[in-house]
């Protein structure tokens, strides 16, 4: 079980409210078999980077750069229709949400199906601690990240989460703190 003190040690610059994630993180890690210190450290490091230590549950950028992205499904007619019904574009509507920054129509659709919540039509559901942590666990699991964490393949794991190596040094600093806090 993760404790508040461990989270604070991993994310020393987190804002008030971090305590709201302790139980949801614990439940999500249990649900998705993120159940060893190595897996938990890698998971928490990725979430800490992606969310700015749980400060940003929605991507700061507008999401306009994701408009029309085929790899994210933002070109699909349903994505266009859902976004239009909400007065925006698919990139903006399906920008990153939750602690892992679930991004794009395909990821929101697949998350909605896996978790049985309507984050396809209401992506902000996964900005809340419980559904957000579950969505992060689902994404992690669906990308085979437990195996990569077990093998210590942190760079490949980062590519699975982010698509590249953006912020690798920051992610590794979180990982080092998490390994120390969870040891």
Q: What CATH code is assigned to 64-126?
A: 3.30.20
Q: Do domains 4-58+129-182 and 64-126 have the same CATH topology?
A: no
Catalytic position from the list 31, 50, 59, 76: 50
Please calculate the CA angle 127-5-43 and round it to the nearest 5 degrees. Answer: 50
Give the percent of the chain with pLDDT over 70.
100
3-state DSSP helix/strand/coil % of the chain, to nearest 5:
65, 0, 35
Confidence category of residue 1, pLDDT binned at 50, 70, 90 = confident
- Boundaries of every domain in the chain: 4-58+129-182, 64-126
Comparing C-alpha atoms, which of 163, 169, 134, 130 is closest to residue 43? 134
When pLDDT is averaged across residues 42-52 and rounded to a whole number, the result is: 98
Residue 15: per-residue pLDDT: 87
Q: Is 50 in the active site?
A: yes
Digit-coded pLDDT (tens) for 101-144: 999 999 999 999 999 999 999 999 999 999 999 999 999 999 99
CATH T-level topology, domain 4-58+129-182: Lysozyme (1.10.530)
For 67-111, write each residue's pLDDT tens digit.
999 999 999 999 999 999 999 999 999 999 999 999 999 999 999
């Amino acid at each position: 079980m993760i404790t508040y003190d461990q989270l604070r040690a991993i994310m020393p610059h987190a804002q008030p409210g971090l305590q709201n994630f302790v139980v949801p993180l614990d439940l999500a890690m249990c649900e998705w078999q993120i159940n060893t210190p190595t897996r938990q450290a890698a998971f928490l490091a990725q979430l800490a980077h992606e969310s700015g230590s749980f400060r940003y549950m929605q991507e700061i950028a507008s999401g306009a750069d994701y408009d029309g992205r085929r790899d994210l499904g933002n070109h699909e007619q349903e994505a266009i229709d859902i976004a239009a019904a909400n007065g925006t574009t698919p990139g903006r509507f399906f920008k990153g949400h939750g602690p892992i920054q679930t991004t794009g129509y395909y990821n929101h659709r697949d998350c909605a199906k896996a978790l049985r919540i309507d984050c396809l039509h209401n992506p902000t559901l996964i900005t809340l601690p419980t559904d957000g942590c579950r969505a992060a666990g689902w994404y992690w699991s669906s990308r085979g990240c437990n195996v990569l964490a077990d093998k210590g393949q942190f760079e490949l794991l980062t590519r699975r989460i982010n698509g590249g190596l953006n912020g690798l040094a920051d992610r590794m600093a979180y990982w080092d703190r998490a390994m120390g806090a969870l040891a």
